[in-house]
Amino acid sequence: MDAEKKKPMVSDAGAWAMNVVSAVGLIMTNKQLMSNSGYGFSFATTLTGFHFTMTALVGWISNATGLSVSKHVPLWELLWFSIVANMSITGMNLSLMLNSVGFYQISKLSIIPVVCLMEYFLHSKHYSSRVIMAVTAVAVGVGICTVTDVEIKNKGLLCACVAVFCTSLQQITIGSLQKKYDIGSFELLSKTAPIQAISLLLFGPFADYYLNGHSLLTYHYSMGATSFILLSCILAVFCNTSQYLCIGRFSATSFQVLGHMKTVCVLVLGWLLFDSALTLKNILGMLLAVVGMVVYSWAVEHEKKAKICPDIRVDSKLDGEDDMLLEKDNGVAKPDIELTR
């Protein structure tokens, strides 16, 4: 008798909600922390190193207290994944510095089709016309409400390509490693976080100095700035954990598509909290993106049900054949039983 699977501590909807809330909260916190009108902490790569340090600490405490179980994953796979993830982070930061905001947003939107292509070539995953139309609607909608000026530079284009490729590969690899080694999302994050933390803390200050020309050692750590750095790290733990949860349960494509709900939330909160402009163009783009997300969810659910129905029919047919074989084994045919009544 097969052992029953443990019910997950966080539901699917809870994982999505955790990711959206923590990611939006992290963006708002970092906006206040890093903006000139806030605390001017312009060390994005090093801050990410702080995030993974906190995540690694939480993972270590969880393993030490028995809340989670550590499973074996080859060191070379962890190192390879960490290199790809760090290149994604550094590439995105360089892309934001070297490119206009408009082209940076376009490069982020291009992650969706790149993920789809990677899943097609690496995992032979096929997409229905409904899913393709929904993905396109989301990308166009987010593009309408976020893309403004577009200016392309050679170095910026190269950094954007590296960032998009590494981000897509990283998100697909998260799901692959979880399935390959039958490891939970938090357990995998606990293994990769220390490697990313060490590497980002070593090379992050140099990357940030190249990006903004300021040294981390000269920054004045006020009480307010320190509090926001700590809050940013706490939110990053929830954001990282929920990202691994979502990709492990669904797919990198679903994570990208539904993840753009964060973009919509950030625009609305920016309008409410920071007096950002919200035009008719922004509103129409957000509505199109939301419609695309709803259609995508419906299309994916429709495909799941379509796959389940043939399996049920096959199982019913097999059960019928088993009953016929059982009657033959007993040496009595069904008509004979009816005649003896």
Whether 241 has a pLDDT exceeding 60, the answer reads yes
Whether 235 has a pLDDT exceeding 90, the answer reads yes
**Rounded CA gap, 123 and 106, in Å?**
26
Which of the four pLDDT bands, split at 50, 70 and 90, describes residue 52? very high
Whether 16 has a pLDDT exceeding 50, the answer reads yes
Mean pLDDT value of segment 96-113 = 75
Whether 8 has a pLDDT exceeding 70, the answer reads no
Q: Which of 63, 159, 62, 146 has the alpha carbon at shortest distance from 109?
A: 146
0.85 surpassed by pTM: no
Q: Which of 64-68, 209-213, 291-295 is predicted least confidently?
A: 291-295
Whether 5 has a pLDDT exceeding 50, the answer reads no
**DSSP secondary structure letters along 243-265:** HHHHHHHS-HHHHHHHHTHHHHH
Q: What pLDDT shows up at residue 139?
A: 77
In the numeric block, which tokens belong to residue 310? Answer: 């043939």
Give residue 71's region: left, alpha or beta (phi > 0; psi -120 to 50): beta
In the numeric block, which tokens belong to residue 210? Answer: 């190249």
Q: What pLDDT shows up at residue 194?
A: 94
**DSSP secondary structure letters along 201-234:** HHHHHHHHHHHHS--GGG----HHHHHHHHHHHH
Half-sphere exposure (CA, 13 Å, Cβ side) for 297? Answer: 11
Which of the four pLDDT bands, split at 50, 70 and 90, describes residue 217? confident
Half-sphere exposure (CA, 13 Å, Cβ side) for 330? Answer: 11
With beta carbons less than 8 A apart as the criterion, state whether 102 and 142 touch.
no
Q: Kindly report, residue by residue over 193-207, the tens digit of the pLDDT.
A: 999 999 999 999 998
CA distances from 205 to 42, 48, 209 (A): 11, 11, 6
